[in-house]
Amino acid sequence: MCGIVGYVGNLNAAPVLIDSLKKLEYRGYDSAGIAVLGKEVEIKVIKTQGRLSALESLVLDQKPQGNIGIGHTRWATHGEPNTENAHPHYNASRTIALVHNGIIENHGDLRQELTSRGYTFLSHTDTEVAVHLLDYYYKSEKDPKKAISMTLSRVKGSYAFGILFADCPNTVFAARKDSPLAVGLGQGENFIASDAPAILKHTHDVIYIDNDEIAEIQKDSVKVYHLNLKETAKEAVHIGWDPEAAEKNGFAHFMLKEIHEQPAAIRNTVFPRITDGNISLDELALSEDAIKNLRKIHIVACGSAYHAGVVGKYVIEKLARIPVEVDLASEFRYREPILEKDSFCIAISQSGETADTLAALREAKRQGLFTVAIVNVIGSTIAREADSVIHTHAGPEISVATTKAYSAQLATLYLVALRLALVRATVTKEDFAKLVKELKSLPEKIEMLLAEQESIKQFANKCKEKKDIFFIGRGIDYAAALEGSLKLKEISYIHSEAYAAGELKHGTISLIEKGTLVVSLATQPTLYEKTVSNTAEVICRGADILALTFGDNPALLQNAAFSVILPETDPIFSASLSVIPLQLFAYHISLAKGLDVDKPRNLAKSVTVE
């Protein structure tokens, strides 16, 4: 989704803005631009469609001078991705410029109104109405904050704005509703950014702007006001992430680096929460009585986080014997969910900013449920709005396709399941101890799988021309198949579907023909025979098999074109292992096809619109 940056300080703003925008490239974009305020009356705006390298060349040619500016990477929603529609947008006299992340839902009515007042539009975006509204109110009020507040009261939808007024040459203004925005606090310089990695190089201390707040940022001060222009006190949050963690560090792609960081992500998430064989999960913030009386758990999430939730359902139900309902957040919020007393809701999100997940969390809260967020980004909106937060410690995830954050989410759900199971006495102390030990050994086992990369790469190279790839599995393997299939389709653009192995024959099997690749996951010994039979059904229709299983399943292995034998573990944890070869498989197919692994087409890292 769109990325916003802003700078005010003593440095020349343009290179700082470009550098910060580069750190937000992972969010996905199709055009980019900056606005710099220097000594001239007009704000200098440079923007272009395409990659940041194109913007950088324009900036190098035009050399805008000034110590204050805003920048933007645009992920088109309204209006095609061209230069006119790129941000910043500006008023006719170029004395007000703004960048926007979000969607102005009533832009049609506002455009009509402003056109009738004589305003001329240069773009087809929803955003441009905001800059003309600002111009309109600024002309009457002569006060930028008032003009911003009046503009915001007219705008429906979601927004994070960065705004410059030529009349205020020392100030960047910012405002937000339902789109992320942070102010980075430096020494004699301050920043705004949609996401912390953009400014980590300069500062680790940030203030998160909340809904209906306006920030006034100068190089030595940051003031935040409510929409009614009353000043409000804000606390800074320290982000411990190492800026190096947001660099590739010698890996060809962020995705490959992040795949290799999974053992560390799990260690950092799990180990500090296990002391003397016990799980301390104070963040769960539920009394033992409440845990014993639980009737249901609701999990809401999107994409891969949802797939982690599906694994969580199988694991929690098996270990803690509590019914779990997993919902796609975008469905949950509009299906008028019936939420019972004595249940709680887990929202899972890497970014902590996903609009649908946030809305689902709010719905659960509205209905009086206790909410727990499993979130990677500290200080993110979901983390702040949930009643309680269990942070995954995966570090910054830059590649659009999630890998290490997903693995850390799984690890967290195992911790939750084990904690609940112990309190509810649905596992014996001995089994609990064995499972905790096993959980702690997952990082080493992942390392063993990572060492098998070369053979997976060779097989992936042979599969790059495939048109359809199916993933099948039962139980936890079905949940893992969902994630394997998503990983493949999002970065290789090969059509893929994941099916519960037993369901394939109810329709989808008609798509299987000679040479169709079917990835068969069989890691649940109690289900081996069933999955082997379902695999046989596709083999006899011409399918080639990639098998993922443990070593004691010769019936599956003997018929596979390629197989990965997973290191032994308790089957409850198998999803953490089976996902590794599936990530590598997707990565190497994408690479073999010459695609942009880290920034797949049409996708955005942080999906802040519905």
2 classed as catalytic:
yes
CB 148 within 8 A of CB 173: yes
201 classed as catalytic:
no
CB 471 within 8 A of CB 479: no
Is 302 or 572 the residue whose CB approaches ligand F6R more closely?
A: 302
CA distance 15 to 577: 43
Q: Residue 119: phi, psi to the nearest 5?
A: -80, 140
Catalytic residue among 2, 302, 345, 463: 2
3-state secondary structure of 292: helix
Is 343 or 354 the residue whose CB approaches ligand F6R more closely?
A: 354
User: Closest residue (Cβ) to ligand F6R?
Assistant: 303
**Closest separation in Å from C-beta 542 to ligand F6R:** 30
Closest CA to 126 of 155, 146, 151, 83: 155
**Closest separation in Å from C-beta 269 to ligand F6R:** 15
CB 548 within 8 A of CB 528: no
**Closest separation in Å from C-beta 414 to ligand F6R:** 18
Is 354 or 590 the residue whose CB approaches ligand F6R more closely?
A: 354
3-state secondary structure of 169: coil
**What is the CA 138 to chain-centroid distance, rounded?**
36
User: Would you state the structure tokens that stand for residue 499, as one six-digit string?
Assistant: 């099916």
Is 523 or 606 the residue whose CB approaches ligand F6R more closely?
A: 606
**Closest separation in Å from C-beta 457 to ligand F6R:** 20
Q: What DSSP element (H or E) covers 203? A: none
Is 400 or 476 the residue whose CB approaches ligand F6R more closely?
A: 400
- The residues that touch ligand F6R, with contacts defined as CB under 6 A, are 302-305, 349-351, 354, 357, 401-402, 486, 490, 606-607
Catalytic residue among 145, 177, 219, 605: 605
**What is the CA 154 to chain-centroid distance, rounded?**
30
User: Would you state the structure tokens that stand for residue 331, as one six-digit string?
Assistant: 């469905």
**Closest separation in Å from C-beta 256 to ligand F6R:** 14
How many angstroms separate the Cα of 191 from the Cα of each of 91, 158, 168, 245, 503? 23, 21, 16, 20, 52
**Closest separation in Å from C-beta 365 to ligand F6R:** 17
Is 195 or 544 the residue whose CB approaches ligand F6R more closely?
A: 195
For residue 88, say if its preceding peptide bond is cis, omega within 30 degrees of 0: yes
CA distance 265 to 483: 18
Which residue(s) pair with 73 in the sheet? 3, 32
Is 190 or 357 the residue whose CB approaches ligand F6R more closely?
A: 357
3-state secondary structure of 32: strand
Q: Residue 333: phi, psi to the nearest 5?
A: -65, -25
**What is the CA 452 to chain-centroid distance, rounded?**
28
CB 100 within 8 A of CB 79: no
**Closest separation in Å from C-beta 43 to ligand F6R:** 33
Catalytic center residues: 2, 605
